[in-house]
Amino acid sequence: MALMVLLIGISYPLLEHWTEGALRKAGRQVTAEIERLYERAVMTHQVYRLQFEIGKEQYRPEVLQTVDGAQVFVPAADDLVLPDGVRFLDLVTAQGTKVTQGKAAIYFYPIGRQDAAFIHLEQLDGMRGGEELSLLPHPLTGRVAVSMGDVEPALGDAMTGSGT
């Protein structure tokens, strides 16, 4: 019996990692994409944006390019999709607008800045139903703070880095 308890104790952290919740996986994927675009904008000296389609649970990295004499955003990679059972609850833009349906974007600039924004994800089903996750990208560093629940500090706090 003691041997079984020992084996369960050793294998539980591994099992928990394998069965990681879709919400945390989604948060990690969106965070990685935000941090990647911040770095790409600085390294390539180009403007990027991460275009969210709230309600479709998709997001797409885009780069600003000149096409036929006009500057337009073109896809920088394929569309990315949230894991099953996870949705964008809302995205609060730098202007303080809360977008719950349709398109919203975060812009990344070559000078090492990005728009302030807050992204809220929600787990829809399963054992963790109703759980929320907040992603708070820092406009000056490109790093993303991740918090459980619906966290929405004042945009002024996000711009200065306080409150996160």
Question: What's residue 13's pLDDT?
Answer: 56
pLDDT at residue 11 above 80?
A: no
* SS3 state of residue 66: strand
pLDDT at residue 45 above 50?
A: yes
Least confident piece of the model among 36-40, 101-105, 120-124, 156-160: 156-160
Name the DSSP letter for residue 129: T
pLDDT at residue 162 above 60?
A: no
Tell me how far apart the alpha carbons of residues 80 and 95 are, in angstroms, rounded to a whole number.
25
Within a 10 A sphere around the Cβ of 43, how many other Cβ atoms? 9
Tokens of 29: 């994927």
Q: What are phi and psi of 156, to 5 degrees?
A: -60, -40
Tell me how far apart the alpha carbons of residues 41 and 37 are, in angstroms, rounded to a whole number.
6
Task: Please state which CATH number belongs to domain 21-160.
Answer: 3.55.40.10
pLDDT at residue 20 above 80?
A: no
pLDDT at residue 22 above 90?
A: no
CA distances from 18 to 32, 72, 120 (A): 19, 41, 24
pLDDT at residue 143 above 50?
A: yes
> Domain coordinates of the chain in residue numbers?
21-160
Name the DSSP letter for residue 81: E
Kindly indicate the confidence band of residue 160, based on its pLDDT and cuts at 50, 70 and 90: very low
In the chain, how many H helices and how many E strands? 3, 11
pLDDT at residue 3 above 80?
A: no
List, for residues 72-97, the tens digit of each pLDDT value: 999 998 999 999 889 999 999 888 88
